[in-house]
A and B are shown apart, each in its own frame.
Chain A
Amino acid sequence: MTVLSIENISKKYILNSKGKSNDDLRDTITGWSRKLVNSGKSADIKQDFWALKNVSFEVKQGDRLGLVGANGAGKSTLLKILSQITEPTTGSIKIRGRMASLLEVGTGFHPELTGRENIFLNGAILGMKKNEIYRHFDAIVDFAGIEKFIDTPVKRYSSGMYVRLGFAIAAHLEPEILVVDEVLAVGDADFQKKSIGKMRDVSNSGRTLLFVSHNLTAVQGLCNTGAYLRSGELIKYGAIDEVITEYVKNVSKFQLEQAWTDPDLAPGNDFVKIKTIRLVPDESHTRPNLDTSTPLRLEMEYWNFVENAELNVSIFLYSMTGECVFNIGDEAQIYQKGTVKSVCEIPGDFLNDGSYYISVMIVRDRLAPVYFFEDAIAFDILDYREGTEWVGKWPGAIRPKMIGVKSWQTELS
C-alpha cells in the first residue's frame, strides 16, 4: 500500500538582489523612493531559484527510504514540504496516516521548563494527545535515562541529556511515517545504537521510515530504498545500494590519476618534474567503489634532470579534515638523468572510511625538499563491514585489521 505519494513537487524561492539586502524597513522605503525617482525603472533583479524541480515518487508502507544528496540538493526543502513547514509551489503530496518529523530533536524545548513539562510541551508540538503522553511518559523517561533530573529545568541539562530526551519523545510518537534528519550526528555511541534500534523497531512494526543522513553507512544499514537528489532534481530512485553507488559516483571529487606526456607542461621545477601519479585498487578487488577492505597501490613516475642526484620520495596521506594520517619515505638512492618510478602499497583493512588525499614530496640529499606536489590524489573510501550489527560511524583515523585483539576464557566458575 502506498502511504506517501509525491507528485510533481516543485518549490520556488525568489532571490531579490538590489546590490544590498532589503530586509529592513528603511531599505524598503528607500527602495520605494528610488522607484518613484526612477519612475518605475526598477533596479530590482529578481531571480527564481528552484529548490525542487518536479520531484515525484511513491513510498510503500513499511519502506525505509534513505534520502541522499549533497548539501543544497533539496533534501531539507523536501522534508520541510513533507512536514508542512513550507508549502510546495506546485504539485501535491498525499499522506496516509500520521507523520512525525524529527527535523531536529528537542524542537520547542523551553530552557526554563523542567524535563517533565517539556515532555508534555514537546509531545503536543509533535502532535501527541495528552493521554498518549501519559501512557508513554515512563517509557520516554526511561529511554532517555533522565529519571533523576525529570524535575530539573532543561537549561541545566547536559547537551547529551537534552538530545536524548528530545529523541525519546519523538521515538514514542508511534507515527505511521517517521521522518528523521541527521539525528545520528549527536549523542554518544551507546545512544546512537539505541536510536538505530528504535528506528529498526519502527520499520519492523510495518511503519514507514524516511531517513536523511550524510552518514552513508547508516543509510545503507537502515534503508531498503533510496532517493538521490541533485540540485533539486530526482536523479535516481530505487534499491538503496544502486542509489548509493550512483551518489558516490557523482559526488566524490575523485582524482585517482594525473599524467603528463610533455615535460614542459608538467608540474615541477628545473630539477624534477612529475610524469604520472595514480592510485589503483588491487586486482583482487571486484566491488565498484573503493572500500575499507580494498588494497591500494600508489604509483608515481617523475623526470629527473640532474646527473648523479641523490633522491628519495616522501608520501603524505591526509584525512579530509587535513590531519596527516601518515608520512612515509623510501631509501635515498643515486639516480641518473631520466625517469624514476616509485610504488607504495597501502594494504586493505587499514584505512577507515572517509575522504583522503595524498601529497608527494621529492627530497634531495636526504634533507632538502626539491619539489612538493600537493593534493596529487584525492579519493573516497566507502565503508565495508562483515559480521557486525553496528552501523554507526566507525571511529578513528585508521581501522587496521592487522592489529588483532585476542580473547580467551581464563577461568571457569
Chain B
Amino acid sequence: MDSRVRVITNKKSISEYIAEIWDYNELFWILAKRDIIVKYKQAVLGVGWAAIRPLITTLVMALAFGRLGKLDVGSPIPYMLIVSVGVTIWLFFSQSLTTISTSLVLNSNLITKVYFPRLIIPLSSIFIGLVDVVVSLAVFAGLCIFFQYVPDWKIILIPFILALTFLASFGVGLIAAVLNVKYRDIGQVISFVVQFGTFLSPVAYLTDAYKTGANGELLYNLAMLNPVTGCIDAMRWAMLGDFAAFNWNSFIPLVVFVLGTFFYSIRFFRKHEDTFVDYI
C-alpha cells in the first residue's frame, strides 16, 4: 500500500508543484500523443498535410511578395528559400500559440472531472507544432536539394531557435489560455493575431524591407518589438549560410520578451488554475 499521506489544502509550495508535474510525466506524453494521432486521423493524406501546408504557403508567398511584389530582384539566393524559413517559423509560432491558448477550454471535460497538474495541458501542446516544424524543415531540405543550395554549420543551432520560438508563443499563449477560460473572446482575438501576423511579421520579406519608404526607421523599430521578427531573423541567420547577418536589434527584444512573459505567465497561471473548474 502506498503509505504516503497527501494533504489537500489551499496552499501548495513551488517545489511540491514542480514535483507533482514531474509525477505526471506519463500523462504529459499520452496527451501529446493523443493530440497528434487525432489531428491526422481519418485523413487520407494523414501527416502529408503537414508537408503540403508549408510548401503551398511558401509557393504562394514567394509568388505574391517575390515575383509580383518584385522583392526577389537581385536576391543572391533563391527567394523561395528565404520565404520557406519565414514560413517554418511562422507556422510553428502560430500553431503553438493557437493550440496553447485553446488547450484549456478544449480539455474542459478533463479539467472538470479529474485532477492532475493543469500546466500539463498547455505544455503538451508543443508537440503538435513540433511535428509540423520537423516536416517544414524537411520541406526546406527538399527546396535546398531542388535549388542545389548547401547551408553551413549554423544549422545545428536550429533546435535552440525553435525552443526560443516556442517559449515566445508559450508565455502569451498561456496567458491567453487562462483568460480564454473566462472570456471566450480571446479565441477570436488570437485568430485575428494569427491572420494579420502573417503579413506584419517578416515571413515573406526580409527585415530590411521595413526601412524603405517614409517613416522607415520608425516602422523598423516597431517591427523589432515583434518577437516573431527575432525568431525569423535568427532562423535565417542559422539556415541561410552567409546570406543573413545576425540581427541583435531583433534578438535582444526577443530574449527580454521571452523571459518576461514566461515567468509572468506561469505566475498568472498558478494564481488562476484553481478557479478554472468554476468558470470553464
**A283: min CB distance to chain B, Å:** 51
A107 close to chain B: CB less than 8 A: yes
**In the bound complex, do residue A107 and residue B1 qualify as a contact, i.e. CB atoms below 8 Å apart?**
no
Choice from A24, A84, A94, A110 contacting B34 with Cβ under 8 Å:
A110
Docked complex Cα distance between A90 and B111 (Å):
22
Choice from B38, B109, B113, B186 contacting A112 with Cβ under 8 Å:
B38
Question: In chain A, residues 125-143, which have Cβ atoms closer than 8 Å to a Cβ of chain B?
Answer: 125-127, 129-130
Docked complex Cα distance between A129 and B30 (Å):
11
Docked complex Cα distance between A392 and B37 (Å):
40
Convert A80-112 into 0s and 1s, putting 1 for each residue whose CB lies closer than 8 angstroms to a CB of B: 111111111111111111100101100110101
**In the bound complex, do residue A94 and residue B114 qualify as a contact, i.e. CB atoms below 8 Å apart?**
no
**In the bound complex, do residue B34 and residue A88 qualify as a contact, i.e. CB atoms below 8 Å apart?**
no
A126-B114, A130-B26 as given contacts; A86 in contact with B185, CB under 8 Å: no
A93-B8, A112-B38 as given contacts; A24 in contact with B184, CB under 8 Å: yes
Convert B1-40 into 0s and 1s, putting 1 for each residue whose CB lies closer than 8 angstroms to a CB of A: 1111111111000000000000000110011001001100
**In the bound complex, do residue B113 and residue A104 qualify as a contact, i.e. CB atoms below 8 Å apart?**
yes
Docked complex Cα distance between A201 and B156 (Å):
57
**A54: min CB distance to chain B, Å:** 15
A28-B183, A86-B274, A87-B274 as given contacts; A176 in contact with B2, CB under 8 Å: yes
Query: Chain B residues near A120 (CB, 8 Å)?
Result: 30
**In the bound complex, do residue A98 and residue B110 qualify as a contact, i.e. CB atoms below 8 Å apart?**
no
**A101: min CB distance to chain B, Å:** 7
**In the bound complex, do residue A92 and residue B7 qualify as a contact, i.e. CB atoms below 8 Å apart?**
yes
Choice from A28, A85, A88, A153 contacting B9 with Cβ under 8 Å:
A88
Choice from A84, A117, A124 contacting B115 with Cβ under 8 Å:
A84
**In the bound complex, do residue A92 and residue B2 qualify as a contact, i.e. CB atoms below 8 Å apart?**
no
| Max count, chain A CB within 10 A of own CB: residue among B1, B41, B116 | B1
**A14: min CB distance to chain B, Å:** 9
B277 close to chain A: CB less than 8 A: yes
Query: Chain A residues near B278 (CB, 8 Å)?
Result: 13, 86
Docked complex Cα distance between A113 and B40 (Å):
11
Query: Chain A residues near B31 (CB, 8 Å)?
Result: 121, 124
A95-B6, A108-B110, A112-B42 as given contacts; A85 in contact with B185, CB under 8 Å: no
A103-B114, A104-B113, A110-B38 as given contacts; A88 in contact with B8, CB under 8 Å: yes
Query: Chain A residues near B3 (CB, 8 Å)?
Result: 96-97
Closest partner residue, chain B, to A81 (CB atom): B8
Query: Chain B residues near A121 (CB, 8 Å)?
Result: 30-31, 34
B67 close to chain A: CB less than 8 A: no
Choice from B1, B8, B185 contacting A84 with Cβ under 8 Å:
B8
**B77: min CB distance to chain A, Å:** 42
Convert B158-201 into 0s and 1s, putting 1 for each residue whose CB lies closer than 8 angstroms to a CB of A: 00000000000000000000000011111000000000000000
Which range holds the interface residue count of chain A? 35 or more
B112 close to chain A: CB less than 8 A: yes
**B40: min CB distance to chain A, Å:** 10
Query: Chain A residues near B274 (CB, 8 Å)?
Result: 86-87
Closest partner residue, chain A, to B28 (CB atom): A124
Question: In chain A, residues 47-89, which have Cβ atoms closer than 8 Å to a Cβ of chain B?
Answer: 80-89
**In the bound complex, do residue A94 and residue B183 qualify as a contact, i.e. CB atoms below 8 Å apart?**
no
**In the bound complex, do residue B115 and residue A83 qualify as a contact, i.e. CB atoms below 8 Å apart?**
yes
B146 close to chain A: CB less than 8 A: no
B279 close to chain A: CB less than 8 A: yes
Size of interface on B: residues with Cβ below 8 Å to A: 36
Docked complex Cα distance between A88 and B110 (Å):
19
A23 close to chain B: CB less than 8 A: yes
A25 close to chain B: CB less than 8 A: yes
**In the bound complex, do residue B1 and residue A97 qualify as a contact, i.e. CB atoms below 8 Å apart?**
yes
A23-B279, A87-B10, A125-B27 as given contacts; A94 in contact with B113, CB under 8 Å: no
**In the bound complex, do residue B26 and residue A124 qualify as a contact, i.e. CB atoms below 8 Å apart?**
yes
**A55: min CB distance to chain B, Å:** 13
**B141: min CB distance to chain A, Å:** 31
Question: In chain B, residues 263-280, which have Cβ atoms closer than 8 Å to a Cβ of chain A?
Answer: 274, 277-279
**In the bound complex, do residue A24 and residue B42 qualify as a contact, i.e. CB atoms below 8 Å apart?**
no
**A288: min CB distance to chain B, Å:** 37
Question: In chain B, residues 106-132, which have Cβ atoms closer than 8 Å to a Cβ of chain A?
Answer: 109-116
Docked complex Cα distance between A92 and B2 (Å):
20
Query: Chain A residues near B277 (CB, 8 Å)?
Result: 80, 85-86
Docked complex Cα distance between A162 and B120 (Å):
26
Query: Chain A residues near B112 (CB, 8 Å)?
Result: 85
Query: Chain A residues near B183 (CB, 8 Å)?
Result: 23-25, 28
**In the bound complex, do residue B8 and residue A125 qualify as a contact, i.e. CB atoms below 8 Å apart?**
no
Choice from A24, A107, A129 contacting B185 with Cβ under 8 Å:
A24
Question: In chain A, residues 1-52, which have Cβ atoms closer than 8 Å to a Cβ of chain B?
Answer: 13, 23-26, 28
**A81: min CB distance to chain B, Å:** 7
**In the bound complex, do residue A101 and residue B10 qualify as a contact, i.e. CB atoms below 8 Å apart?**
no
Docked complex Cα distance between A176 and B6 (Å):
13
Choice from A24, A90, A107 contacting B113 with Cβ under 8 Å:
A107
B residues touching A (Cβ–Cβ < 8 Å)? 1-10, 26-27, 30-31, 34, 37-38, 41-42, 109-116, 182-186, 274, 277-279
The contact sample of 16 A-B pairs, CB cut-off 8 A, is A23-B279, A24-B185, A28-B183, A80-B277, A82-B8, A84-B115, A85-B114, A85-B115, A87-B274, A89-B10, A95-B8, A96-B6, A97-B3, A107-B110, A117-B37, A176-B2
Given A85-B112, A125-B114, list of 8 further CB < 8 A pairs?
Answer: A24-B185, A25-B185, A81-B8, A94-B5, A110-B34, A110-B38, A113-B41, A125-B116
A residues touching B (Cβ–Cβ < 8 Å)? 13, 23-26, 28, 80-98, 101, 103-104, 107-108, 110, 112-113, 117, 120-121, 124-127, 129-130, 153, 176
